[in-house]
Amino acid sequence: MLTPDQVMDNYFLEARCMLIEVAATLDRYDRAVENSDNPPASDERLAKLYSSLSILADQSGPANRSERVLNHFSLPTD
């Protein structure tokens, strides 16, 4: 198993890249809304993206964030 330092050394830049891509996607959506004559009132997928970010920001929670994000984007099973 990697040490904590090795995890950061190996994956910091890749994670940074992916977060910037998410930020750019959200900006792209906002600009498209601004330029649209008939913007959607809301979009469930966008809401899902925003609400998923709280899972990433949960620093003290259990180390199953990817599972929680996947569940967040899944249809309810009940």
Which residues contact another protein (rule: CB under 8 A)?
A: 13-14, 17, 20-21, 24-25, 27-28, 31
* Smallest separation (angstroms) from another protein to the CB of 26: 11
Provide long-range contacts, Cβ within 8 A and 24+ apart, for 10-15: none
Give the C-alpha separation, 38 to 34, whole Å. Answer: 10
* Smallest separation (angstroms) from another protein to the CB of 23: 9
* Smallest separation (angstroms) from another protein to the CB of 33: 14
Give the C-alpha separation, 68 to 74, whole Å. Answer: 10
The two tokens of residue 72 are 């967040």
Indicate the residue among 20 and 47 with the shorter CB distance to another protein: 20
